[in-house]
Amino acid sequence: MTVPVRRLWVAVLCGYLAFGAALQALPTYVPERFGGGALASGTAVGIAFLATACGRPFAGWLADAGWSRPVVIAGGVLAAVGGLGQLLAPDLPVLLVARLVMGAGEAALFSAALPWVLSGSRTSQRGKLAGWFGLSMWGGLAAGPVLAGAVGRVVWWVVVGLCVASVLLVLSTRRDPGRMRPLGKIRIVVSLPGAIIGLAAYCYGTVVALLVLRLRDAHLGGDGFALSVFAGAFLLLRFAGSPLVDRYGGRVVAVVTVAVEVVALVVIARAATSTLALVGTAFAGFGMALIYPACVSMTLDRTRGLPPGVSMGVMTSFWDLGVMAAGPLGGLIAERAGYPAAFLVAAGTGFACVVVLLRMPRRAVSPR
């Protein structure tokens, strides 16, 4: 049966546009509505990633059993409920619960849709397809904050509307994406790809959390559009470079791109001018662009013969955990030793990622 790839792509994009818009709105929404400070705002932002990290493996597990469509629909519904909860929350604890619900919904939305899409592809094209389909998630996260700024005070209604649109798109697909199978045991053999993407995610999280503050602290300028430069470079190379994963292999692509990320982070840490900082920012975007499809390729190679849902969910959860860790740890380092030190620590994390990649066996052994 033909998989509705384009419709699923748009459905995931809508969900992650909503997620990205919420990330942009929360730092001002929490203080204005609930009187919370930086800790409350940071907790509200980060707690959704905890739910996402926990939910991905289970969404993939259900997708492996042929339940992709109902899980994706449930993900869109949960995201909509979470968005509405954030709009109507009477206090901060209710807002945090709503953030957890939305995070769980986003986990189900992507992590059940990806194995559905991969089930209709040839093994030789999975890296390219995973990179292209992943643009729905990363594009939404990148464009969501821009959308939030454009719509202003109605942002939460837009968040809810996007999630509802996601549900309607999936409801318009055929009812049975595949043969339902009994739920089997969760089998996880993705420790190395998980460690790799988790270390890379710390680099990404440091850029997202601290780049603007680094530029402001050093009075370098460009802080108003630096993240747009990062997102633009990221999306450009992800779109154009995903076929490289199938051509050269995930390990080779990951080594090269993470090495670029390490250099870029050092440039950002040491930059004395706005131009140099923005060049480093663009290369940081290039360095992160292909790590996800590369890790998808490595994970599928190591789990050859097994359904992809659980392995993809677990591997992607390491990304969420890495991003979660980068905010508070990077912020603590910046407070104690300065922003350049925080970026140098992130560069060290990227270097550790390269070391793991170089020590990784060239040929994975298929699980028995």
Q: Report pLDDT digits (tens) over 250-295.
A: 889 999 999 999 999 999 999 999 999 999 999 999 999 889 888 8
| Assigned domain for 290 exists | yes
Say if residue 12 is in the same domain as residue 116.
yes
| Assigned domain for 274 exists | yes
CA–CA separation, 309 vs 93, rounded Å?
A: 32
Say if residue 264 is in the same domain as residue 148.
no
Note the pLDDT of residue 32. Answer: 85
| Assigned domain for 368 exists | no
CB atoms within 10 A of CB 300: 23
The length of the chain in residues reads 368
pTM: 0.75
Question: 314 near 225, Cβ under 8 Å?
Answer: no
CA–CA separation, 9 vs 132, rounded Å?
A: 9
Note the pLDDT of residue 184. Answer: 47
CA–CA separation, 175 vs 65, rounded Å?
A: 15
Say if residue 204 is in the same domain as residue 322.
yes
Say if residue 155 is in the same domain as residue 33.
yes
Which CATH number do you get for residue 111? Answer: 1.20.1250.20
Say if residue 216 is in the same domain as residue 310.
yes
Picking from 171, 202, 217, the residue at the C-terminal end of a domain is: 171
Of 301, 282, 285, the residue nearest 360 (C-alpha): 301
Question: 315 near 263, Cβ under 8 Å?
Answer: no
Burial code (b: 16+ CB inside 10 Å, e: under 16) for 46-67 equals bbbbbbbbbbbbbbbbbbbbbb
- Determine the angle formed by the axes of helices 191-217 and 291-302, rounding to 10 degrees: 170
The winner for highest mean pLDDT among 18-27, 146-155, 345-354 is: 345-354
Say if residue 150 is in the same domain as residue 210.
no
Say if residue 229 is in the same domain as residue 330.
yes
Picking from 140, 171, 202, the residue at the C-terminal end of a domain is: 171
Q: For a pLDDT cut of 90, what percent of the chain falls above it?
A: 34
CA–CA separation, 95 vs 262, rounded Å?
A: 37
Question: 324 near 205, Cβ under 8 Å?
Answer: yes
Note the pLDDT of residue 368. Answer: 40
The winner for highest mean pLDDT among 63-77, 115-129, 166-180, 250-264 is: 250-264
Say if residue 133 is in the same domain as residue 80.
yes
Note the pLDDT of residue 145. Answer: 78
Say if residue 204 is in the same domain as residue 338.
yes
Q: Which two tokens stand for residue 316?
A: 């992607």
Question: 277 near 211, Cβ under 8 Å?
Answer: no
Q: What does the pLDDT average to over 239-257?
A: 86
CA–CA separation, 133 vs 112, rounded Å?
A: 12
Say if residue 109 is in the same domain as residue 14.
yes
Say if residue 134 is in the same domain as residue 228.
no
| Assigned domain for 278 exists | yes
Is residue 38 very low, low, confident or very high in pLDDT (cuts 50, 70, 90)? low
Note the pLDDT of residue 281. Answer: 93
| Assigned domain for 364 exists | no
CA angle 313, 160, 309 (to 5 degrees): 15
- Whether the pLDDT of residue 185 is over 60: the answer is no
Note the pLDDT of residue 124. Answer: 61
| Assigned domain for 178 exists | no
Residue 251 belongs to what domain range? 191-359
Note the pLDDT of residue 53. Answer: 85
Say if residue 326 is in the same domain as residue 197.
yes
CB atoms within 10 A of CB 125: 13
CA–CA separation, 326 vs 202, rounded Å?
A: 5
| Assigned domain for 343 exists | yes
Q: What does the pLDDT average to over 108-113?
A: 89
CB atoms within 10 A of CB 24: 17
Q: What is the DSSP letter of 88?
A: H
Of 360, 128, 362, the residue nearest 244 (C-alpha): 128
Picking from 171, 199, 218, the residue at the C-terminal end of a domain is: 171
Distance of CA 57 to the CA centre of its chain: 15
Least confident of 22-31, 308-317, 339-348: 308-317
Number of domains forming the structure of the chain: 2
| Assigned domain for 176 exists | no
Note the pLDDT of residue 13. Answer: 95
Of 2, 15, 21, 20, the residue nearest 59 (C-alpha): 15
